[in-house]
Amino acid sequence: MRAFIFPGQGSQAVGMGKALADASSVARAVFQEVDDALGQHLSHLMFDGPPDDLQLTANAQPAIMANAIATLRVLEKEGGIRLADKADYVAGHSLGEYTALCAAGAFDLATTALLLRHRGEAMQAAVPVGQGGMAALLGCDLATAQKIADAAAQGEVCTIANDNDPSQVVISGAKAAIDRAIEIAKDHGAKRAISLPVSAPFHCPMMQPAADAMDKALADARIDSPLVPVFANVTAQPVSDVDTIRKLLVEQVTGMVRWRESVLNMADTGVERFVEFGGKVLAPMVKRIAPDVEAVSVISMDDIEALAKSL
């Protein structure tokens, strides 16, 4: 059994997708469709920068999605492969859940681009710059991270944002609380605590205005039943029901990304091979979570050709 997986924010870099676009008309068509949907030359920003503009949440989210979908489409169209025949599940990390839903046919490409642009803008607007923060706790499991967050909160928001793998948990909340967490992390058993260069405190209750905005946007969006079940971030369980998908995407804005549990649950259902499209972030996490499974990252044309031969 296989799962196709899709990365989240932080995997963006200037030059992303350029070699793929140079090599494949299929990839170029994906980037053009996203550009047209957004009314913006996002592909130019992806290929050539400037980096500061690409890092903006409202640009990074649709860019990461476009790059991953372009990679998948090249595999499908040039490799003659159907996702429904080769993947048993799809999943994505945070914004990657939208990419996964697009990959599985629940959203069309233009809708996905517009939703992610709206999501990025809403998340950025939810909390004034400087009032929130996020930190990665390294060498730290979920229980330890929870103790650190609880001790640092002192009446402010400080919660688990991403349970990434057995040695990496990300916390999110008010800047002062996150600063306190970084100070006390080692005393509570973490090896290191690193402040993340993000513009807002994602996946915490401070994002409620963004969740409300996405509730409205998703109410008007067309969602079809996915070709294969999608493992949802907030439940770490497979979902195919359209109304449930819609509800969970709203909850995801403020909720914890349960990536470690999702991978374990997919492995428990029999998934032995995880294929990450458009990044090299999730596959290493997968190996730390479930060392016995196979996990590969597919980025280049060579990667796509090698994958096509192995499927």
Selected catalytic residue, list 93, 118, 188, 203: 203
Selected catalytic residue, list 94, 199, 262, 297: 94
**Is 94 an annotated catalytic residue?**
yes
**Is 203 an annotated catalytic residue?**
yes
Bridge partners of residue 297, in order along the sequence: 276
**Cα–Cα distance measured from residue 256 to residue 235, given in angstroms and rounded to the nearest whole number:** 9
3 state SS for the chain: CEEEEECCCCCCCCCCCHHHHHHCHHHHHHHHHHHHHHCCCHHHHHHHCCHHHHHCHHHHHHHHHHHHHHHHHHHHHHHCCCHHHHCCEEEECCCHHHHHHHHCCCCCHHHHHHHHHHHHHHHHHHCCCCCEEEEEEECCCHHHHHHHHHHHHCCCCEEEEEEEECCEEEEEEEHHHHHHHHHHCHHHCCCEEEECCCCCCCCCHHHHHHHHHHHHHHHCCCCCCCCCCEECCCCCCEECCHHHHHHHHHHHHHCCECHHHHHHHHHHCCCCEEEEECCCCHHHHHHHHCCCCEEEEECCHHHHHHHHHHC
Query: Which residues are the active-site residues?
Result: 94, 203
